[in-house]
Structure 1
Amino acid sequence: MNQSLADMRRDYTRDGLSEAQAPAEPFALFHQWFAEAVATEQPPVEANAMMLATVDAGGQPHCRVLLLKALDARGFTFFTNYDSDKGCQLQANPAAAMTFFWPGLERQVRIEGRVERVTPVESDAYFQVRPLGSRLGAWASPQSRVIADRAALEQLLEQTRQRFMDSAPHCPEHWGGYRLVPERIEFWQGRPSRLHDRLDYRLQDGHWQRQRLAP
């Protein structure tokens, strides 16, 4: 490594975030920032990529990158195998957190709340618009379980192809969506000298309260 970790830094100078720019509730601002991320971020960055943090029954936190697949006034929706590690963790403890980071815009959004399963109708509707390979993969992969090697996974996939040779794969019962219902949403805009703008929305008695946090 030619550059030490201590010397790796950039100064954020692109924009600021004032209270005058922020609406009374956070969803409008998220929609605005997300649209700007879609228009600005270049591949291979995916604007809907986010880190999802969960906690298992023993209190150990876990974090991974997922893709946001639906957003409405109810919350932020992603899809997975319900029997996966994250599914089991959410079953044991429905508290979760998401973080979106858009480096081109020097922005991040942190979201905290509790998850709920979406309806089977919602899960099936999304499942049917997935590419065929992804639908077959949802059936083939015993997500998070130990397998012998890549060849074992390929064999499971081939068996699944044969199973659905004459019919389209339907949504498995072990696969579907979770909606994170937010209780807190923080908008972070990078600023020079690490004096970043942080506007924090918290849901209190059914209403969003906004406050500024020190960086």
Structure 2
Amino acid sequence: MKDEQDAIPHGDPYELFESWFAEARASEPNDANAMALATASADGMPSVRMVLLKEHGPQGYVFYTNAESRKGGEIRANPRAALLFHWKSLGRQIRIEGRLEEVGPEMADAYFASRHPDSRLGSAASDQSRPLDSRKTYLDRVEDLRARHGEGVPRPPHWTGFRLVPERMEFWLSREHRLHERRQYVRAGGDWTSVLLYP
């Protein structure tokens, strides 16, 4: 049988993530940094949506959002979450679970300023996750902000970033006939242990 040897090594999960992410950026046709973000309310009701990874490393995995949105409210009420990267063309996925912490205002300001002007205007104009009577209302708000601020619209105080600090990471590799390979890494203190899992 092919693929008898383990292809997902024990070691540093951040280095393995970096290697797989680099391959995904080179091969995925769209948004290799897209990840599913799962959060839950204080009473345990889960929800999931796609967001974009904007920074990563041993400190964690950073995304940005409106903290007054549904996911923002869930993060405030229950600051734990899970991420899922799925790269179909590579036959790989990575699951990451951990606690969430808010990034500092300087970091949020710097990322907000780096975005396309229309993206900044769209974020500032949006009451994300709240009912909207018509798309025209939203677009009118965008144009009103453009008229008042041009391309210099400031970051709204409720638009911020969150960093997921991993406690558990799982790497999954597709194999023929669904004889897949999985390795789970768990952090205990500052060290990582790992174990293969049955698929």
TM over 0.5: yes
Post-superposition shift, 1:22? 2.2
The answer to whether 1:127 aligns with 2:115 is no
Contact 1:16 1:197 in 2 (8 A): no
User: Distance in 1 between the 2:48 and 2:157 partners?
Assistant: 24
Q: Which residue of 1 aligns with 2:139?
A: 154
Match runs of 1:1-215 below 5 Å: 18=6, 21-42=8-29, 45-165=30-150, 168-215=152-199
Contact 2:175 2:181 in 1 (8 A): yes
Between the aligned residues of both structures, percent identity stands at: 46
1:142-197 C-alpha deviation (Å, 9 max, x unpaired): 101111011111111111112203x6122211101000000000000001121110
| Distance 1:68-1:16 versus aligned 2 partners, 3 A rule | farther
Cα root mean square deviation, aligned: 1.6
User: Distance in 1 between the 2:18 and 2:112 partners?
Assistant: 24
Contact 1:81 1:176 in 2 (8 A): yes
User: Distance in 1 between the 2:179 and 2:100 partners?
Assistant: 32
User: Distance in 2 between the 1:61 and 1:154 partners?
Assistant: 31
Tell me how many residue pairs correspond in the alignment.
198
User: Distance in 1 between the 2:81 and 2:181 partners?
Assistant: 24
User: Distance in 2 between the 1:38 and 1:29 partners?
Assistant: 14
Contact 2:145 2:153 in 1 (8 A): no
Contact 1:183 1:203 in 2 (8 A): yes
| Distance 1:92-1:177 versus aligned 2 partners, 3 A rule | same
Contact 2:84 2:96 in 1 (8 A): yes
Structure with larger RCO (C-alpha < 8 A, sep 6+): 1
User: Distance in 2 between the 1:17 and 1:143 partners?
Assistant: 48
Post-superposition shift, 1:87? 0.4
1:115-162 C-alpha deviation (Å, 9 max, x unpaired): 000111111111111000001111101101111011111111111112
1:1-58 C-alpha deviation (Å, 9 max, x unpaired): xxxxxxxxxxxx9x88826x5252200000000000111112xx31000000000122
What letter matches 2:195 in structure 1? Q
Contact 1:70 1:78 in 2 (8 A): yes
| Distance 1:126-1:117 versus aligned 2 partners, 3 A rule | same
What letter matches 1:154 in structure 2? L
User: Distance in 2 between the 1:146 and 1:179 partners?
Assistant: 28
Contact 2:83 2:97 in 1 (8 A): yes
